[in-house]
Amino acid sequence: MNYVSMRTLITLAAFVLISFQTTSQNDEILVDTHEFDYLIGKTYYDVSELGDFEATGRGSTSYPDGKTTGSTNLLTQEYQIMTSEIVDYDEKAHQNVYKIVDIIVLNGYYSSCVNCLSSTREGIRVKTIHPYGNLSEDSILLTFEIPEKTGKFKQVNPKRFTWNKNSNRLRRN
């Protein structure tokens, strides 16, 4: 076997091994369950309306056109559920109303950050998942794009984005 083909073979083997490990790790973190699908499309005022969850955090982003999107972090005994939501203000109730557009279910508990990775595309939020309490560029486990228009999570490669240097100051749980 000549040098070029041996080098190609080694590179291909390394790629397959790394891909397998990454896929395996992602499979361990992301849970493919339909147990919580009933949440998608649900509108609520208070997390208590969703069921027996502990809400551990909520964040939102307001856009110049007046639209607000958000995310709520819900915990069960074994899972962490992150929502993607559209947030409106109910004039009659004088409070925000949340509509869940999409969810991701994680096996265990993790830290997350919106816009720790910067997107150059207009109307795209980037959410990263990290080991609990470890928020750094090197600790990214999963990355999702969330288009403002659809609110649907799309798993993407974090290498497509640039680390937001301001994120180094953050310490999130």
Question: What is the per-residue pLDDT across 45-80, written as a single tens digit (0 to 9) for each?
Answer: 999 999 999 999 898 888 788 888 999 999 999 999
Does residue 58 lie within any of the structural domains?
yes
Q: Return the amino acid letter for 73.
A: N
> What's the pLDDT at 121?
87
Residue 91 lies in a domain: yes
User: Is 11 domain-assigned?
Assistant: no
In a domain, 19, yes or no: no
pTM for the model? 0.78
Domain assignment present for 153: yes
Domain enclosing residue 130, as ranges: 24-169
Q: Report the distance separating Cα 64 and Cα 86, nearest Å.
A: 15
| Residues 20-39: b if buried by 16+ CB within 10 A, e if exposed | eeeeeeeeebbbeeeebeeb
Residue 3 inside a domain? The answer is no
Q: Which two tokens stand for residue 133?
A: 């309490």
Q: How many domains does the chain have?
A: 1
* Pairwise CA distance, residues 20 & 12, whole Å: 12
pLDDT of residue 25: 52
pLDDT at residue 2 tops 70: no
